[in-house]
């Protein structure tokens, strides 16, 4: 019986079909078909060498047994050297990196087969199909690829939502005007009806002689004719006035009908825009509900801009802490539920239990799950996505009124983060406080919005007593220590029926988003407490190469550079930006007639640039383009630097207009 299992009989069995096929009346194999067969054989061989597949599995049973015995005899001595293996054991990576590594290992088992098929199938299709093959598009299945595609999709949805909100503002304004016009029309109709009513009442109270004085004519009283005819004229004019009032009242009613119709049309337009916006947010919520914690962990670190010094360290520590938390959920197989499922602690999904504060009170909007052998707080899917989106904006510049995607103020950042999670928020920090659901400090959770300075400043709480916010004091998005909290809201819970009362007045004197109070006395271009040319690198934002500006100026410059490159087909040329005090000293020594005295240069405030590439020549096409367009991005050329000015420097441009100090 062993004979049929030997290779020889198998060769004989495979040879018979080959012989029968050789006698068939089939055309000889073409070169294309032969190439396809060779590709198929190569793919089969590649699949056999895929990572993670045992070589012994492809050998006969007897040889596998022998080789297994040899492997056990050679590995047994090394297993006893425990000290050596302990010294070589690497440090245990974070949980979320272990999860991703496991995902990569499983994917490698199939990757060779997929690659092989990607080679074979087009070859077979090209050889056998009469039409050219259509290239296939592979969908991203790994967390990093999903995070990148998700970030793009969420950003596009956020842009669509912002456009809808802008359109909605116009429609609401139109509705307000329509309602005002309707009120005016109704007031005019009320006045017209009153006029008709007064005239009718007067007519009702008149006698027959008063209504028609002409009937009082007497042929025997010729002297009374003049008076009677005068009274008749008055009566006729009164009749005409009453007729006109009736016509005006009718037209006023028509105006009311038209105004009401216009109001209804405007209301329908507003309702349609609101419904479209809500449908968009609902679609985003459906999308984020499917995101795994591993994907959102990757999303958090995709596009963050590096900061400098201690700020970068704070940013990275908070980011890694957040990613480790998501990795714990991923390893435990915990999928964050939707916010609607966590709103009621008494009706949580299976596998979750209520989270309690220090007094034993259930906390709405979060839950507890088990990861390994310990409990872990589970946030909603919307909160997880919003916090990850906020982390991905680290390092973006601060800009008053900015709502993204390139620059933000404090309310613009929190609104953008939650809109990309399917939760619509107004852009103003004060409105976010008014419409959010307040939570006590004892129930503060990651993702809650924390307000300071009487609601003028807001950030996303990220744990460990820190918030992630776009700060006017630091001119960028970053993580800072939480101080002076005046209110907290959880925007994933149902909004309150009535707006929250205003927060108590601030005692810091700061303005919007932590803007330091204006100094008393003469206005100075000094900002952040830094002197001219003595601004630390961590307070500046890079604009490429070794150049840097204050972060709001950097955002304007980058937008200016992009517009210039689009129109001229080449990058914007720059020779100088922020100039330190030492740099000012060197420049003054080299060019005392051109450079400002050290400590007085506008470059020392990180708000001025010197440009080249044609802009340095007054009257050139590039310079004329700057004159026409630079103002749209916040840059101007001071009078003294313009051609014909006191000190012409066509290359010198400033973010705003600075005083010479």
Q: Poorest-confidence range of 115-119, 167-171, 427-431?
A: 115-119
* Cβ-based neighbours of 27, under 8 Å, separated by 6 or more: none
State residue 45's pLDDT score.
52
pLDDT band at residue 514 under the 50/70/90 scheme: confident
Looking at the predicted structure, is the pLDDT value of residue 301 above 50? yes
Per-residue tokens: 19: 């012989």
State residue 126's pLDDT score.
47
d(CA 449, CA 436): 9
Torsion, CA 605, CA 607, CA 610, CA 616, rounded to 10 = -130
Q: Which CATH architecture has domain 537-655?
A: 2-Layer Sandwich (3.30)
SS (H, E, C) 25-91: CCCCCCHHHHHHHHHHHHHHHHHHCCCCCCCHHHCCHHHHHHHHHHHHHHHHHHHHCHHHHHHHCCC
Classify strands 547-550 and 457-463 as parallel, antiparallel or unpaired.
Answer: unpaired
Distances (CA, A) of 194 to 183, 184, 246: 16, 15, 10
Sheet holding 362-371, edge to edge: 353-356, 362-371, 374-378
The average pLDDT across 558-580 equals: 93
Please state the separation of Cα 475 from the chain's center in Å.
19
Looking at the predicted structure, is the pLDDT value of residue 474 above 70? yes
The average pLDDT across 74-85 equals: 39
Residue that wins the pLDDT comparison between 524 and 149 = 149
Distances (CA, A) of 617 to 49, 372, 565, 613, 621: 65, 68, 18, 9, 9
CB-facing half-sphere around the CA of 193: CA atoms within 13 A: 10
pLDDT band at residue 66 under the 50/70/90 scheme: very low
State residue 97's pLDDT score.
57
Is 568 exposed, middle or buried, given 0-12, 13-18 or 19+ CB atoms closer than 10 A? Answer: middle
Q: Which of 320, 286, 282, 278 is nearest to 150 (CA)?
A: 286
Residue that wins the pLDDT comparison between 146 and 178 = 178
pLDDT band at residue 657 under the 50/70/90 scheme: low
Per-residue pLDDT of 107-117, as tens digits, reads 444 444 444 44
Q: For a pLDDT cut of 90, what percent of the chain falls above it? A: 43
d(CA 301, CA 293): 13
Distances (CA, A) of 54 to 57, 614, 616: 5, 65, 68
The average pLDDT across 42-56 equals: 44
Looking at the predicted structure, is the pLDDT value of residue 578 above 90? yes
The average pLDDT across 258-276 equals: 95
State residue 496's pLDDT score.
87
Classify strands 540-544 and 547-550 as parallel, antiparallel or unpaired.
Answer: antiparallel
pLDDT band at residue 47 under the 50/70/90 scheme: very low
- H/E segment holding residue 162: helix 143-205
Residue that wins the pLDDT comparison between 222 and 633 = 633
Domain ranges for the chain: 30-59+95-132, 145-289, 309-513, 537-655
State residue 659's pLDDT score.
44
Q: Which of 376, 389, 373 is nearest to 334 (CA)?
A: 376
pTM over 0.85: no
Please, are residues 216 and 224 in contact by the beta-carbon 8 Å criterion? yes
Dmax (CA) of the chain: 156
d(CA 397, CA 555): 6
d(CA 262, CA 8): 92
User: How many Cβ atoms from other residues are within 10 Å of residue 653's Cβ?
Assistant: 23
Sheet holding 635-636, edge to edge: 574-576, 608-611, 652-655, 635-636
Looking at the predicted structure, is the pLDDT value of residue 362 above 70? yes
For the chain, give the mean pLDDT: 79
pLDDT band at residue 1 under the 50/70/90 scheme: very low
Distances (CA, A) of 540 to 181, 514, 533, 549, 576: 51, 17, 12, 6, 15
Q: Which residues pair with 635 in a beta bridge?
A: 655
Out of 3.90.1170.50, 3.90.1720.10, 3.90.180.10, 3.40.50.300, the CATH code matching 309-513 is: 3.90.1720.10
Q: For a pLDDT cut of 70, what percent of the chain falls above it? A: 75
Please, are residues 161 and 276 in contact by the beta-carbon 8 Å criterion? no
State residue 17's pLDDT score.
37
pLDDT band at residue 472 under the 50/70/90 scheme: confident
Please, are residues 56 and 64 in contact by the beta-carbon 8 Å criterion? yes
Residue that wins the pLDDT comparison between 125 and 376 = 376
Please, are residues 370 and 328 in contact by the beta-carbon 8 Å criterion? no
State residue 643's pLDDT score.
87
Is 309-513's fold the same as 537-655's? Answer: no
State residue 573's pLDDT score.
95
Classify strands 466-471 and 457-463 as parallel, antiparallel or unpaired.
Answer: antiparallel
State residue 493's pLDDT score.
94
* Cβ-based neighbours of 528, under 8 Å, separated by 6 or more: 473, 475, 516, 535, 539
State residue 232's pLDDT score.
79
Residue that wins the pLDDT comparison between 333 and 50 = 333
Per-residue tokens: 268: 């329908």
Q: Which residues pair with 568 in a beta bridge?
A: none
Looking at the predicted structure, is the pLDDT value of residue 438 above 70? yes
Per-residue tokens: 468: 């992630």
Please, are residues 95 and 324 in contact by the beta-carbon 8 Å criterion? yes
pLDDT band at residue 553 under the 50/70/90 scheme: confident
The average pLDDT across 494-504 equals: 87
Is 1 exposed, middle or buried, given 0-12, 13-18 or 19+ CB atoms closer than 10 A? Answer: exposed
Looking at the predicted structure, is the pLDDT value of residue 142 above 90? no
pLDDT band at residue 645 under the 50/70/90 scheme: confident
State residue 247's pLDDT score.
93
């Amino acid at each position: 019986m062993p004979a049929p299992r030997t290779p020889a009989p198998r060769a004989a069995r495979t040879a018979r079909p080959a012989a029968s096929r050789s006698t068939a009346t089939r055309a000889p194999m073409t070169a294309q078909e032969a190439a396809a067969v060779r590709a198929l054989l190569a793919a089969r061989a590649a699949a056999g060498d895929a990572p993670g597949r045992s070589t012994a599995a492809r050998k006969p049973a007897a040889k596998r047994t022998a080789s297994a015995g040899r492997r056990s005899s050679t590995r047994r001595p090394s297993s006893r050297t425990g000290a050596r293996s302990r010294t070589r054991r690497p440090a245990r990576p974070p949980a979320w990196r272990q999860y991703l590594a496991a995902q990569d290992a499983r994917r490698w088992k199939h990757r060779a087969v997929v690659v092989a098929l990607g080679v074979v199938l087009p070859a077979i299709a090209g050889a056998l199909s009469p039409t050219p093959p259509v290239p296939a598009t592979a969908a991203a299945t790994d967390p990093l690829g999903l995070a990148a595609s998700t970030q793009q999709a969420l950003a596009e949805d956020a842009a669509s939502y912002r456009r809808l909100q802008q359109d909605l503002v116009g429609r609401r304004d139109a509705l307000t005007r329509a309602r005002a016009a309707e009120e005016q029309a109704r007031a005019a109709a009320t006045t017209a009806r009153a006029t008709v009513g007064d005239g009718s009442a007067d007519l009702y109270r008149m006698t027959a002689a008063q209504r028609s004085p002409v009937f009082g004519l007497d042929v025997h009283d010729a002297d009374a004719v003049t008076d009677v005819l005068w009274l008749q004229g008055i009566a006729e004019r009164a009749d005409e006035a009453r007729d006109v009032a009736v016509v005006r009242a009718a037209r006023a009613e028509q105006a009311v009908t038209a105004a009401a119709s216009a109001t209804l049309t405007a209301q329908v337009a507003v309702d349609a825009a609101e419904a479209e916006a809500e449908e968009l947010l609902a679609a985003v919520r459906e999308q984020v509900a499917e995101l795994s914690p591993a994907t959102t962990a990757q999303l958090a670190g995709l596009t963050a801009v590096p900061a400098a010094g201690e700020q970068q360290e704070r940013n990275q520590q908070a980011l890694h802490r957040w990613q480790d938390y998501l990795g714990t959920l991923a390893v435990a197989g915990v999928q964050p539920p939707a916010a609607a499922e966590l709103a009621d602690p008494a009706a949580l999904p299976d596998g979750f239990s209520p989270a309690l504060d220090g007094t034993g009170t259930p906390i709405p909007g979060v839950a507890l799950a088990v990861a390994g052998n310990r409990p872990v707080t589970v946030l909603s899917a919307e909160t997880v996505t919003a916090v990850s989106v906020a982390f991905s904006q680290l390092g973006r510049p601060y800009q008053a009124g900015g709502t993204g995607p390139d620059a933000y103020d404090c309310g613009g950042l929190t609104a953008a983060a939650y809109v990309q999670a399917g939760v619509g928020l107004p852009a103003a920090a004060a409105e976010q406080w008014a419409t959010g659901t307040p939570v006590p400090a004892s129930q503060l959770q990651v993702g809650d919005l924390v307000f300071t300075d009487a609601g003028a400043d807001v950030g996303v709480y990220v744990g460990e007593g820190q918030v992630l916010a776009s700060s006017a004091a630091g001119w960028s998005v970053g993580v800072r220590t939480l101080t002076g909290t005046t209110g907290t809201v959880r925007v994933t819970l149902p909004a309150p029926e009535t707006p929250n009362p205003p927060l108590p007045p601030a005692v810091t004197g700061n303005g919007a988003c932590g803007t330091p109070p204006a100094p008393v006395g003469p206005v100075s271009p000094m900002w952040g407490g830094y002197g001219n040319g003595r601004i630390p690198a961590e307070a500046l934002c890079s604009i490429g190469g070794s150049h840097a500006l204050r972060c709001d100026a950097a955002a304007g410059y980058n937008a200016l550079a992009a517009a210039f490159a689009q129109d001229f087909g080449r990058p914007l040329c720059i020779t100088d930006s922020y100039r330190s005090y030492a740099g000012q000293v060197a420049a003054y020594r080299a060019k005392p007639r051109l450079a400002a005295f050290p400590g007085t240069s506008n470059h020392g405030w990180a708000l001025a640039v010197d440009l080249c590439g044609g802009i340095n020549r007054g009257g050139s096409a590039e310079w004329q383009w700057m004159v026409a367009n630079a103002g749209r991005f916040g840059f101007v050329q001071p009078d003294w630097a313009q051609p014909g000015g006191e000190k012409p420097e066509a290359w010198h441009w400033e973010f705003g207009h600075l005083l010479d100090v």
